[in-house]
Homo-oligomer: A and B are copies of this chain.
C-alpha cells in the first residue's frame, strides 16, 4: 500500500463534522486512522467526546528525548454546492498532478503526509527521533468545541515541548513557509435602541433619532478617513513590527496584485504607513461583520426602525488584551452615542494573538527542516486569522506551536474542487521526517 493509496482511502470517508447524517462516516475515518497508526507500531486510543472522537497515538516515550505533539484534523467542510464540483467531491481523482477531493488540502492531505512520514521513519529506523504524541480531532471545522476540555482533562499525558501543525498556507508553490504569528480576536454585538415601536417615518421623521442612522454613526466613528482605529487606547501596547520582519515580508514581493486578484476589491484600503501584508498580519483591525436595521425587503417601507444592530470583530496583535479592547470599545461607543438612543453590548468570543520567536532554537529547527525539504529561502510569515487551537495548546499545555502548513492559495480549501498537489504531499512526507529530526536535535 503506497502513501498515496492511503491518502486516497482516507479522502473517501465523507467525514463532514457539521452534518449529523455523516456522523458514522466521521467515526469510520477515525477508526481507519487508528488501525493505520496501530499497524505502524504506535499505541493508540480513540476517545469519545460529546461530538466526534479524538484519536491519540504515541510511540514509547523516553525521558531523555524531546516530546512533540503532532496535531491534525480528519473532519472536513461540507461539499456544498455540489453542482460546482467537476468530479464527485468524495471520489478522489488525480488530474494534472493534483488530487481533487473534499479534504485534499484541509486537512487530510497534510495529515496523511505526516502519517506517511512517520511510517517511513519507523520503517527505516524502527523508532522516531522524538517522543511523539499524535492528536487528531474530528471537530476542527465546527470550532473544536471539545478540544480544550479534552486537553484540560488529559494535560499530563499530553505534556509536550512543542506542538507541530500543518494546517496553514505557503506563500507560493515550493516555498517553505513558517508561520510564527497569528492575530487574536475579540467579538461584540451592539444594539442601538430608540423608539419602543417601529415608527412611520412621515409622521415622526425629524422628531426622533433614527437607530439605524445612529448605529451607522457609531460604526463610522470607529475609524478615521484613512482607516486608523479611533478608539482611545486601542493601539496601546501594540508591539511594533521589527526591522527583520518588515524586510522578510518585503522580500516576498509586492503583495498588492495578489490581494487585489484574490478579493476582487476595486482597490486596497487601510492604515497608512504599512504595506498590505503588514496590515493583514501584524496590525490590529476593527471590522463590522454584519449590520442590520429596518426594512430588508424589496422596494421601500417608510419606517423608522425601533432598533438596529451591528457585529464587530477586532483582530488583535501582541500585546493587546482582548477583554481590555472590548471594554475600550464599549466605553468609546457609549461616549459617541447621543442620549436619544440606548446601547446594549453583548461580548462575544475572544482569543489572544499568538507569536513565537522564529529565531528561537525550536523556530530555527523548523526553518532548517523547511530548508531541507524545499530548498531556497524559507518564508517567515504571520497570518491574519486566528487559530483557537493554537491558543488552547499555549493555555493548557504551555507549549508553542510550529505552524508549517502546505496549502497553496489555489488549493480551494472550503470551496468546490478542493485539491492538493501530489508534489506537496510528497514534500510533506519529507518535511515530517526532517522536522522530527531537527526538533530532536534543537
Question: A residues bordering B, Cβ < 8 Å?
Answer: 183, 185, 187, 189, 194-197, 199-210, 212-213, 215-223, 227, 259, 262-271, 276, 279-280, 283, 285, 287-296, 299-305, 308, 310-311, 313, 315, 338-342, 348-349, 383-386
A202→B384 contact, CB < 8 A: yes
With the chains together, A295 CA to B340 CA distance in Å? Answer: 27
A294→B285 contact, CB < 8 A: no
- Copies of this chain present in the complex amount to 2
Given A201-B287, A349-B300, the answer on whether A219 and B208 have CB atoms closer than 8 Å is no
Chain B residues within an 8 Å CB radius of A262:
204
B313→A263 contact, CB < 8 A: no
Q: Within the complex, which residue of B206, B294, B299, B383 is in contact with A271, where a contact is CB–CB below 8 Å?
A: B206
A412 CB → nearest B CB, Å: 13
With the chains together, A308 CA to B223 CA distance in Å? Answer: 18
Q: List 5 A-B contacts (CB under 8 A).
A: A204-B384, A205-B280, A206-B384, A212-B290, A265-B340
Chain B residues within an 8 Å CB radius of A301:
289-290
B204→A259 contact, CB < 8 A: yes
A325 CB → nearest B CB, Å: 14
Interface centre among A185, A199, A291, A341 (most CB of B within 10 A): A291
A240 CB → nearest B CB, Å: 16
Residue of B nearest to A295 (CB): B290
A219→B209 contact, CB < 8 A: no
Chain B residues within an 8 Å CB radius of A263:
195-197, 199, 204, 207-208
Residue of B nearest to A338 (CB): B269
Interface centre among A212, A265, A305, A338 (most CB of B within 10 A): A265
Chain B residues within an 8 Å CB radius of A283:
206
B289→A291 contact, CB < 8 A: no
Chain B residues within an 8 Å CB radius of A383:
202-203
With the chains together, A187 CA to B294 CA distance in Å? Answer: 15
With the chains together, A441 CA to B212 CA distance in Å? Answer: 51
Given A263-B196, A304-B287, the answer on whether A222 and B212 have CB atoms closer than 8 Å is no
Given A201-B289, A291-B294, the answer on whether A348 and B206 have CB atoms closer than 8 Å is no
A287 CB → nearest B CB, Å: 5
With the chains together, A158 CA to B384 CA distance in Å? Answer: 70
A288 CB → nearest B CB, Å: 4
Given A196-B264, A291-B308, A294-B288, the answer on whether A269 and B219 have CB atoms closer than 8 Å is no
A230 CB → nearest B CB, Å: 12
B264→A197 contact, CB < 8 A: yes
Chain B residues within an 8 Å CB radius of A259:
204, 207-208
Q: Within the complex, which residue of B194, B266, B384 is in contact with A341, where a contact is CB–CB below 8 Å?
A: B266
Chain B residues within an 8 Å CB radius of A296:
290, 292
Given A219-B213, A288-B213, the answer on whether A195 and B265 have CB atoms closer than 8 Å is yes
Chain B residues within an 8 Å CB radius of A287:
201, 205, 210, 213, 302, 304
A84 CB → nearest B CB, Å: 13
Chain B residues within an 8 Å CB radius of A210:
287-288
Residue of B nearest to A386 (CB): B202
Q: Within the complex, which residue of B222, B270, B342 is in contact with A206, where a contact is CB–CB below 8 Å?
A: B270
B220→A315 contact, CB < 8 A: no
Given A205-B285, A265-B195, A265-B340, the answer on whether A293 and B290 have CB atoms closer than 8 Å is yes
A266 CB → nearest B CB, Å: 6
A313→B201 contact, CB < 8 A: yes
With the chains together, A264 CA to B221 CA distance in Å? Answer: 26
A206→B304 contact, CB < 8 A: no
